[in-house]
Amino acid sequence: MSHQGGAWGWVGESGRALELPGGSHCDVAPPGRARLRYDESVDALQLSRDGGAYENLQVGSGGSERLAYGTMPLVWPWANYPLTAGALNGRALGNGGEELYENFDLYTRSRWRIVVGDGQVYDPLSFSTLAEVVAWVNDNVPNNGGNFTAGARLFCYDAVDESIHPLSIVFGRNANMARLKSRYWSPGVQNAVTERPWSDEGGDEALNELWTELFGAPLAALPWTDNERRCFWLSRNMKRLYDMPNRSALAAAPIPGSGNRHMQQYESGDRVPAGGAGFSWSDSATEFAYVVVSPAGAYQERLDAWSAMSQIPRCLSTGASILAGIPLESSLGDRAVLVKPVGIDQVYFEYVDQSLYRLEFVAGSDRDLTRRMRVLSPEFSTPGQYTGPCTIDQWWDAVSRATTSYHGHGPGLGTGAFQLRDLSTNRVSALSAAQVKWLRRYRGRPLACVVGNKP
């Protein structure tokens, strides 16, 4: 199926949604019957959902597109009348309506459509509570006084306003890595941790725990000087900052200990400049180690390579920031640690006037027709500079629930993007080109998030 000026296509595992130009979806309820036609009398494309009446579709620059979220069954034919909140709960859960039912309050600024029976459509509708939905069903769906004689299904969507400029700057970062870099850090200049990472000793404690997990004993007792901190080396390649190194590649091309990098001498145990000696992945230490730090910068826990695979998703759901440590060793047995971020845990945007717009995150996957929206609460919004950070716990559950496996084994890993909602009209911008994407488990790295552009 094709359309001049944009691509048409069926999306979803069962092909029950029509993707229109611009990325909006027209969803249809199971069994997923839909027909598209052009009506010359009104000069419009029209869509019929589930055998119902044809509705005009306005796409492109001439009209308003829809961003569909999800759907929820309300009543089946011959279900008991009247509908109660308890009956709605049982019907929604397990039938594709979990997101709208459990997070209804997040969608009260969105629009609603109810399809009754064989295609009678009520659109647009506004609801503030689930109790209002229940009351509407009891007042409008046909019944004989004891049972409903027709079914009804609820759909949620937003109208996309092309006059609202979508977010063009989305910057993701790992808060721990940002804390480790000095104020004047730049690739190729700062190759190691050169100053106190945190305002308190939480940063030094976290690094010491990382060293302990890798080598079996602390690097040195606290408090530290820069001699100890410089034993933790940073990546000089920003383009590959979130990539994990290949063990065989490190052995073939050892990391030089030049610049401000230090090492712990094997014989004396002193922390001294590493000079130009080459360091490779240590065979005497563990594979990887991880350190978990709270959003406020307090050390929480350390994890070995095995437990991290299952525990890091739990840590990210609380907004924690996570670093990986890779043990390095010279031919003389001198030691250091290469520090890498485990994905991002914060996002920043260009300045957004929050008196006019609300920041929102929208997530979904190709195997899941339900989009999930979350409201973001940035810590700062500075005119002329930036808005952020928004920590990962604000949107983690939306993108992780879109996966087929919580730990990232399945093929349906979710992605998410960002939008602005006009607080006066409740219309939304198009989704940002920048997306939050999942990095699968790879070379010892657990499931992690990064920001990237749409393919």
- Domain for residue 78, yes or no? yes
Residue 173 CB: number of other CB atoms within 10 A? 18
* SS3 state at 305: helix
Q: Which of 341, 365, 397 is the last residue of a domain?
A: 341
- Domain for residue 168, yes or no? no
List the domain range (segments joined by +) for residue 432.
345-453
User: What average pLDDT does the segment 15-35 reach?
Assistant: 52
- Domain for residue 165, yes or no? no
Are 152 and 181 part of one and the same domain? Answer: no
- Domain for residue 7, yes or no? yes
Are 16 and 104 part of one and the same domain? Answer: yes
Provide the whole-model pTM.
0.80
Given a cut of 80, whether residue 243 has pLDDT beyond it is yes
Are 337 and 236 part of one and the same domain? Answer: yes
| Residue 207 backbone phi and psi in degrees, to 5 | -65, -40
Are 184 and 300 part of one and the same domain? Answer: yes
- What's the pLDDT at 43? 52
- Domain for residue 69, yes or no? yes
Assign 402 a pLDDT band (cuts: 50, 70, 90). very low
Element (H, E) at 422: strand 415-422
Assign 201 a pLDDT band (cuts: 50, 70, 90). low
- What's the pLDDT at 279? 93
Given a cut of 70, whether residue 326 has pLDDT beyond it is yes
Are 142 and 9 part of one and the same domain? Answer: yes
| Residue 80 backbone phi and psi in degrees, to 5 | -65, 140
Measure CA 180 to chain center.
24
**CB under 8 Å to 60, separation ≥6 — which residues?**
5, 6, 21, 22
- Domain for residue 167, yes or no? no
Are 335 and 365 part of one and the same domain? Answer: no
Are 186 and 276 part of one and the same domain? Answer: yes
| Residue 240 backbone phi and psi in degrees, to 5 | -115, 25
Are 70 and 209 part of one and the same domain? Answer: no
CATH number at residue 449: 2.60.40
* SS3 state at 202: helix
- Domain for residue 417, yes or no? yes
User: What average pLDDT does the segment 318-339 reach?
Assistant: 93
Q: What distances in angstroms separate CA 449 from CA 7, 54, 399, 411, one per listed residue?
A: 28, 41, 10, 16
Assign 427 a pLDDT band (cuts: 50, 70, 90). very high
Assign 448 a pLDDT band (cuts: 50, 70, 90). confident
Give the residue carrying structure tokens 């309300």. Answer: 74
**CB under 8 Å to 92, separation ≥6 — which residues?**
72, 73, 98, 100, 101
Q: Which of 283, 318, 341 is the last residue of a domain?
A: 341
Beta bridge mates, 71: 155
Are 220 and 291 part of one and the same domain? Answer: yes
- Domain for residue 266, yes or no? yes
Q: Which of 295, 313, 341 is the last residue of a domain?
A: 341
Assign 28 a pLDDT band (cuts: 50, 70, 90). low
Q: In total, how many domains does the chain have? A: 3
Assign 369 a pLDDT band (cuts: 50, 70, 90). low
Are 194 and 330 part of one and the same domain? Answer: yes
Are 182 and 194 part of one and the same domain? Answer: yes
- Cα–Cα–Cα angle for 388, 389, 391, rounded to 5 degrees: 140
Are 352 and 310 part of one and the same domain? Answer: no
Q: Can you tell me the distance from the alpha carbon of 274 to that of 257, in angstroms, rounded to the nearest whole number?
A: 5
